[in-house]
Amino acid sequence: MSPNKNTSPLIWGATALGALGVAGTYAAAGPERFWANWILWFVLMFTLGLGALFIVALEHLVSARWSVPIRRLPERLSTLLLPAIPVGLIALGAIPVLYPGARPEAAHHPILAGKAFWLGLPFFSVRTLIAFALCLLGLAVLVRGSMKQDSTRDPAFNIRARKFAPAFMAIFALVITLIAFDWISGLTPEWYSDIFGVYVFAGAFLSALAATTLSVLYLQNQNRLEGVKGDHLYNLGAFLFGFTVFWSYIGFAQYMLMWYANLPDEVIYYKVRLAGAWRAITISLAFLHFILPFFALVTRDSKKDPKRMRRVAFLMLGAHVLDMYWLIFPVLGPKPYFSWPELSFALFFIGGILLWVRGAMQKGEDMPVGDPFLREGLEFRL
């Protein structure tokens, strides 16, 4: 995070190295492992971008003022949806490989055969395309409109965004549920959980909050966010704190009901994840995603401490990666895979995301200077 050093060659190099590994994975480790990794990173990119767009829409929905000075950062982060869409289109190739509902054997399976229309490749793709189109609509109204306002200074945008925000919340709920049910839960089509979309939403919102926090600290390091204070950081910290609890509440509620009822088609999901090496991953997920950030952020001062907030934000991003890995990778078998293919994918996608976000951080002004509420936001005190 040192602004003076030129890290571009390093990131480009790591991304290129990762790309080699990604290509090698398909040839050497087989298509199933390749697609599992690909879906993991597609979901991560997509939830990060969508979560950032949710933060933007949330501000407009409730007419929040404190977050106006930092709104440009989630707006820039939400442009990650643009590269996530081609990644998602490529991921459609995984459907006949990894998704039991779209494989030829499904025709002989009484449950899957009955849902062939919903789980099959054509309608699966159509739903994904609809989700992408809705995301683009959200980006166009909320993010492009806000960027335009920098030069026009037209307050009409605020009214338009406020009217659009409630509709976007419905869109958001639909899109995140489709992504969660189709792309993640679809890997185990005989397993149901009504709360699953909410669980994925909690992770998505947390990861976007963590990325926003890191962006705020990164730009503050470069003296580009004049007037953004510890009070703003405190609110981000309070959100992070609250939603780690929300995530664990949803996660545990889902687990406990299935554990209590002990129905074979439900508990199998946790049986797989509580056996062998997955057990250690499950326990460390609870620790990294809940207990550690909870106690790291429990005091009032820790939410204003940039160093502490940076560490917790990195931790939350890492925990979100682990969470999605925990959801997706058991489809490959009882043994958790972690070796050079996973590292290459991580290098390639993290490098790519960093390059994209760094580019995006130069787009437009650092604050929404055309927003009439910017001044009020800068004067925000706890």
DSSP code for 363: S
> The tokens of 40 are what?
């993991």
State the nearest-atom distance from the C-beta of 161 to other proteins, in Å: 29
Question: Rounded distance, CA 207 to CA 43, Å?
Answer: 12
State the nearest-atom distance from the C-beta of 100 to other proteins, in Å: 29
State the nearest-atom distance from the C-beta of 199 to other proteins, in Å: 17
Question: Rounded distance, CA 353 to CA 45, Å?
Answer: 8
> The tokens of 194 are what?
């009504």
State the nearest-atom distance from the C-beta of 304 to other proteins, in Å: 13
Element counts in the chain: helices (H) and strands (E): 18, 0
Task: Quote the Cα angle for 355-359-363, to 5°.
Answer: 160
The nearer residue to other proteins, 191 or 270, going by C-beta atoms, is 270
State the nearest-atom distance from the C-beta of 256 to other proteins, in Å: 5
The nearer residue to other proteins, 162 or 308, going by C-beta atoms, is 308
Question: Rounded distance, CA 76 to CA 53, Å?
Answer: 9
Helix residue spans in the chain (DSSP H) = 8-28, 31-62, 72-78, 81-91, 95-98, 110-114, 116-119, 121-138, 145-152, 156-178, 196-221, 230-261, 264-273, 277-286, 292-296, 306-328, 340-360, 374-378
- Write the burial class of residue 31 (CB in 10 Å: 0-12 exposed, 13-18 middle, 19+ buried): middle
The nearer residue to other proteins, 267 or 332, going by C-beta atoms, is 267
The nearer residue to other proteins, 16 or 256, going by C-beta atoms, is 256
What does the binding site for other proteins look like in residue numbers (CB under 8 A)? Answer: 252, 255-256, 259-260, 262, 298-300, 381
State the nearest-atom distance from the C-beta of 102 to other proteins, in Å: 34
The nearer residue to other proteins, 159 or 298, going by C-beta atoms, is 298
> The tokens of 21 are what?
């590994």
The nearer residue to other proteins, 173 or 286, going by C-beta atoms, is 286
The nearer residue to other proteins, 8 or 299, going by C-beta atoms, is 299
State the nearest-atom distance from the C-beta of 265 to other proteins, in Å: 17
